[in-house]
Amino acid sequence: MSIELSGVRKSFGDFVAVDDVSLEVRDGSLTALLGPSGSGKSTLLRIIAGLEVPDSGRVVIAGADRTDTPARSRDVGFVFQHYAPFKHMTVRDNIAFGLKIRKVPRERIRERVGELLGLVHLEGYAGQYPSQLSGGQRQRMALARALAVEPRVLLLDEPFGALDATVRKELRAWLRRLHDDVHVTTIFVTHDQEEAMEIAEQIVVLNEGRIEQIGAPREVYEHPATEFVMGFVGPVTHIGGSMVRPHDVDIATTPVAGGTEALVERILHLGFEVRVELVTGDGLPVHAQLTRQECEELELREGQIVYIRPNRLLRAVA
């Protein structure tokens, strides 16, 4: 189902968490709300779920104004950063909770729980308690619990934030595949730009309660609308007052037109990628990202004088 927010505002005391946000999310899409902590992304998600009431503005889900609909009647699946498992219930009962509340016949519940256990790869764990599961398993259980009631919308609040790096990577790919299968309109909150890029079809960049940019991952990365977006969605380095992505810095060992003279201070080999730290004539640090092959071809050494030139500048469109 599509989601439309218009003029949504929410403050807690003096702190304005969400400031006049309007946003459209297409039916069946996968959207990331990306921003630093305190940018209002979680609050916005909770407003869509009905767990927070906006001070003003409207929330429209599937064409119907849901602003005044209580959370319990919104048909929204919500997944929390710390999984929020019902600790006193088994995995089976956790997943069945929403169905029991809806008084679904017992036989149907059994079937549905079986399906979901398969979907989240927890077949053998139905009788276990959440405390007996790993973090990744708990989060998959929480997802199954949210999906059990066939929500119109699936909302995930930093779903992988509490997991370690390997599990996080696995679950990201898995969520992406799951969305291809289940096709429920999904919005997830993250402060990790890589995660947003990897999973989402559409990224909404938030800062201080306002939307900075909405766009496809590539668009946001290559054509950032504001300086904030530029800095937040990818690495940035400065050459002569202009901003550039480190992998867009060309290094030459002989003088080139438009090039700036710089001293190679350090060369860091990070596997496939090589990070070169330089300092320009006016003493400003610059860093560049090269492939290992490029670096070998240039025969770069620390202490060498080179000429650097951005091959693509970033410019705030605004």
> Using CB under 8 A as the criterion, which residues of the chain lie in contact with other proteins when the complex forms?
49-51, 71-74, 76-78, 80, 82, 84-88, 97-98, 101-102, 129-131, 142, 145-146, 148-149
**CB-CB neighbours of 14 under 10 Å:** 5
Q: Min. distance of Cβ 200 from other proteins in angstroms?
A: 22
Residue number with CB closer to other proteins (182 or 236): 182
Cα separation, 264 vs 304, whole angstroms = 5
User: How far from chain centre, in Å, is Cα 309?
Assistant: 32
Q: Could you give the 3-state DSSP secondary structure of residue 213? A: strand
Residues β-bridged to residue 204: 33, 214
Closest separation in Å from C-beta 118 to other proteins: 20
Q: How far is the CB of 101 from other proteins (least distance, A)?
A: 5
Coil, helix or strand at residue 93:
helix
Q: Compare residues 146 and 229 and give the one whose CB is closer to other proteins.
A: 146
Q: Which residue has the tokens 């959440």?
A: 130
Judge whether 126 and 161 are in contact, CB under 8 Å.
Answer: no
Which tokens in the block code for residue 231? 């800095």
Count of positions (residues) in the chain: 318
CB of 48 to other proteins, least distance (A): 11
Is the Cβ of residue 129 or residue 174 nearer to other proteins in the bound state? 129
Smallest CA-to-CA distance from 39 within 56, 18, 60 is with: 18
- CA distances for 290 relative to 241, 272, 276, 295, angstroms: 21, 9, 8, 6
- 79 vs 203 by CB, closer to other proteins: 79
The Cα 152–Cα 74 span in angstroms is 8
Between 97 and 307, whose beta carbon lies closer to other proteins?
97
Q: How far is the CB of 13 from other proteins (least distance, A)?
A: 13
- Tell me whether residue 43 or residue 213 sits nearer to other proteins (CB atom): 43
User: From the CB of 157, what's the least distance to other proteins, in Å?
Assistant: 9
